[in-house]
Amino acid sequence: MVEDIKKAIDKNSFGLYVGAGMSMGAGLPSWGQLLNELIDILERKGIASTRIAEMRVLAGIPSKFLMLAEELRDLIQSDLDRLIRDRFEDKTKVPTETHDVLVKLKSKFIITTNYDTLVEKALVKNFNNYFPTVYTYKDASSINYSLWNNDHFVLKAHGDAKTPKEIVLTEKDYRNIIYNQSGYQSILHAIFSTNSILFVGVSLNDPELLLLLGYIHNIFHGGSPTHYALVSKDMVTETEVERWRKDFNIEIIKYDPTGNHIAVKNFLQEIIDVTEEANFDV
């Protein structure tokens, strides 16, 4: 699959999609951990122990994450804003070695659902203090301009911790931006219909990713370019591999998660090496 990705890079039709797994490697919370931190706030406020216990259970079920997030936002909006800013703007968190390799891939863009700035920091670090163009879901026209001009950019698809009131956290939020905002719909259409995407740091159980893929499948009916997803081998079955290929045109690349997921970094480096070797041969 490295050769297939290289072909997409050569055609300038390759992009990256970075999920929460990448940020977790730098010490930031997973979805479940973030929800539990919000539940901790509720517990300190004296919410009934039975409600707290119910929420703890829901925080362990990926399919319930978005519903639980909706309830938590209703209960502690001001505390939520503060927590998002404090946790994801934490200046002590720095890009991992995998971030450093990832940003060196010749991608047209990097889409991330993470609220933090680790991708941006990695770009600044590895490209002589170059600071990338960063968009959120609210910048549809500007994103379209960058796509048209082949300008590299980072799309923070769920918003930025700097503006916590604008983050996408719940299913209601997510359905609003992909179904009710025509400009953003057009951007998703353009991105996924003309580029091969490599998903890194994602889980097949991620409710946000499943919503996005459902949308993509609905608009393309399986006709988009081939996409790829790096997934830990202990988190996927062969049946899921087949369904993702048939339903979403996504090829699952299974890897060994031992050694703190070092296989992810090695795979990304392999893509870089193959691409650079081909350029050298020319």
Query: What average pLDDT does this structure show over 230-242?
Result: 93
Average pLDDT of the chain? 89
Query: What average pLDDT does this structure show over 74-87?
Result: 89
The amino acid present at 212, given as its one-letter code, is L
CATH classification code of 2-27+94-281: 3.40.50.1220
Provide the Cα torsion 266, 232, 57, 43; round to 10°: 0
Q: Determine the longest span between alpha carbons in the chain, in angstroms.
A: 68
Query: What average pLDDT does this structure show over 229-255?
Result: 91
Q: What pLDDT is attached to residue 282?
A: 38
Q: What pLDDT is attached to residue 264?
A: 96
Burial 208-247 (b: 16+ CB within 10 A, else e): bbebbbebbeeeeeeebbebbbbbbeeebeeeebeebeee
Q: What pLDDT is attached to residue 279?
A: 56
Higher-scoring residue by pLDDT: 179, 87: 87
pLDDT-wise least confident of 162-166, 179-183, 241-245, 272-276: 179-183
* Res. 129: pLDDT tops 90: no
Q: What pLDDT is attached to residue 223?
A: 65
Dihedral sign (CA 101, 103, 108, 109): positive
Whole-number Å distance between alpha carbons of 229 and 96: 19
Domain ranges of the chain: 2-27+94-281, 31-88
Q: What pLDDT is attached to residue 255?
A: 94
* Res. 65: pLDDT tops 80: yes
**Confidence band, pLDDT 50/70/90 cuts, at residue 280:** very low
